[in-house]
Structure 1
Amino acid sequence: MTESSPTALDIITTQSLHNTLPHKTILITGCSSGLGTETARALAKTGATLFLGVRDMLKGRRTLSDILDGSRVRLLRLDLSSFASIRHAVYEFLKHASYLHVLICNGAVMATPHKQKTEDGFEMQFGTNHLGHFLLFQLLLPVMLRSVDKEAGEAARVIGVTSSAHRRLGIQFHDLNLESAHLNPTEVPRLAYAQSKTANIYMMNEITRRFGSRGVQGLSVHPGNVFTGLQKYIDEAVLEEWRQPEMKQHLKSVEQGAATTVLAAVGREYEGVGGLYLEDCRIGGLVEEGYRSFDPGFEEHAFDEEAEGRLWEVSLGLVGLKGDQA
């Protein structure tokens, strides 16, 4: 395991952000375990008001009991695989908050069983990881725009937690649910995850393109190679490969994995900046040819203005919206 990478709490300390953001409101998805939990713990140190999205409220209370206080840090029931749950979560959020300065799209599922669908009929990973966050963003867009402080030079930020797994597959517009008979069923779960992670990047890039001039910016974050509950559906053979010495030296702890997300969310160097792919607490570049799974960098298809715009328009229709909500 790498020892040189900073942790999420290190970012708060080096940026001198302890108790400096009481005027900020942050919403984080996927907070009942893994990266979301550590992201929340670090950001709680800033004094910001936090809304922590969880599917299971009991598990969330148990996991986050050390930071929950009922007012400044509170749980929000949110199932990203259900449009109805997302709409209700936004309704509950708006009952308690008038502003939203940072939205962290962290929640995700990975390599779920083939043909598993969301409540609304979409392939589970595309529906949860992309469409769920897309609808959430659209419903929160008006309050995010209202939170922009142009006089102070403070934009609203949307952080999309993606993965280097995006390199395996771009967006299959002809078959978003990956139901083609030509696909190997055993490969579909990992391909679907890859497609959803490409979609996360496209969404952040398009947010910047559409709303950057109005003060809402999108940043993509690859947390690194981290073992969390996200891998529960991964084949044991693949996990064993990840445990090999060459791979293990590139693994990060959960606390280290959350560092780039925290930096993107509150780091001063990313104020008013969007459309970037961040990894290892810096701006990433194009991956080198012949790369290994743990090598840094994004694939060429991750930045494609035409495809980003197309996915946005398709997504509006899939979540039942006629246009952007602002």
Structure 2
Amino acid sequence: MSRYAAAHIDPQGPGDARPTALQIVQHEGFKGKLTGKVAVVTGVSSGLGIETARALAATGATLYLTARNLERAEAALADIFDSSTMTLVQMDQASLESVRIAAQTILSQTSQISLLIANAGVMAIPDLSLLKSALLAGSSSAFQSRVVMLSSAGHRVGGINSSDNYHYQKGGYNPWAAYAQSKTANVYMANEIERRYGSQGLHAYSLNPGIAATGIIGQLSSEEIMGMLQDEAMLKAQKGLDQGAATTIYAAISKDLEGRGGLYLNDCSEAEMGEQDGDRMSGKSAPHSFDPKNEARLWKDSLELVGLSD
């Protein structure tokens, strides 16, 4: 059992006893210990990305941080700019060309990367293929490279569509099913990375950061938001942003995970397997979370969709 399990038994809302991302760095003994290592984090202009970058800065790693709005990201991270080695790179996840340019910018300055944290969503998929060689080169016997994919408990609603219906071309669009598909895709990517590259020292993890006020609820109706605000259990489960980034940092540096990946994490621990009940509040993984056949299919289809070779 993870050393952090007890703190998550009885949540009392943001700022309770659950660890923050920075506390994970301290507890794991990584403060100042990643000097000379390179970490890439996508989506650092708001929410969990800011706290993830702030915690990684404490490790001493050299940071390459991507954001659509560089001014917003710079303002959000102003308190650590002077004490950290970091470079902000513009990237719009909706544009493959923007992703390519961002990757080329990073690779022009470093040939070795130890951490890739896909905080900004599934459109970080091209990053792996473009940064794969650097991630493999950045792995060492003391600290093997890691890719961290932010998924969600929302993945428990369902799996992925057929190859000819990822974008609901055949109709039947449902916003929660579409969200579940994108979050299952995050899990599948991590699993497939582990299967393909784990033996070469490149490991991958997917995780549920938990409920945090990141602005992701902006597309919900006022009725849905009011329902959430009146849900006492949900309010108690909610984390502060610094707590919401804790499982990401746990995946990135925990010694408990060294040398093994393909895991779905929740509350700074390896998650248990749950039932196929669609419970979006559960921290357990769904039965469809580990599916080698569909993981390989999605990997192949993803490369074809973005025009990359395996």
Once the two structures are superposed, the pairs formed by residues 1-326 of structure 1 within 5 Å of their partners are 1=13, 3-69=16-82, 72-108=85-121, 129=122, 132-149=123-140, 152-173=141-162, 174-181=164-171, 183=172, 188-243=174-229, 244-288=231-275, 292-323=279-310
1:19 is displaced (CA, Å) by: 1.1
Secondary structure in 2 aligned to 1:96? coil
Secondary structure in 2 aligned to 1:225? coil
Partners of 2:21 and 2:242 within 8 A in 1: yes
Partners of 1:153 and 1:272 within 8 A in 2: no
Secondary structure in 2 aligned to 1:100? coil
Separation in structure 2 between the aligned mates of residue 156 and residue 196 of structure 1, nearest angstrom: 24
Write out per-residue CA displacement over residues 61-94 of structure 1, whole angstroms, 9 at most, x where no aligned residue: 1111112249711211111111100110011101
Give structure 1 regions of 4+ aligned residues with deviation exceeding 6 angstroms: none
Question: What residue number does 1:116 align with?
Answer: none
Partners of 1:67 and 1:73 within 8 A in 2: no
Secondary structure in 1 aligned to 2:50? helix
Write out per-residue CA displacement over residues 123-165 of structure 1, whole angstroms, 9 at most, x where no aligned residue: xxxxxx2xx222111000011111122xx34211000000000
Identity of aligned residues (%): 38
Q: Return the TM-score normalized by structure 2.
A: 0.91
Separation in structure 2 between the aligned mates of residue 170 and residue 289 of structure 1, nearest angstrom: 10
Partners of 2:275 and 2:287 within 8 A in 1: no
5+ residue gaps, structure 2, are 1-12
RMSD: 1.6
Question: What residue number does 1:114 align with?
Answer: none
Deviates more, 1:6-15 or 1:283-292: 283-292
Separation in structure 1 between the aligned mates of residue 129 and residue 83 of structure 2, nearest angstrom: 27
Question: What residue number does 1:119 align with?
Answer: none
Separation in structure 1 between the aligned mates of residue 281 and residue 298 of structure 2, nearest angstrom: 28
1:246 is displaced (CA, Å) by: 2.2
Secondary structure in 1 aligned to 2:264? strand
Separation in structure 2 between the aligned mates of residue 71 and residue 280 of structure 1, nearest angstrom: 27
1:322 is displaced (CA, Å) by: 2.6
Deviates more, 1:258-267 or 1:288-297: 288-297
Shift in alpha-carbon separation, 1:64–1:71, aligned structure 2, 3 A:
closer
Q: How many residues align?
A: 295
5+ residue gaps, structure 1, are 109-128
1:292 is displaced (CA, Å) by: 4.2
1:24 is displaced (CA, Å) by: 1.0
Partners of 1:28 and 1:104 within 8 A in 2: yes
Secondary structure in 1 aligned to 2:79? coil
Separation in structure 2 between the aligned mates of residue 91 and residue 228 of structure 1, nearest angstrom: 29
Write out per-residue CA displacement over residues 104-132 of structure 1, whole angstroms, 9 at most, x where no aligned residue: 00103xxxxxxxxxxxxxxxxxxxx2xx2
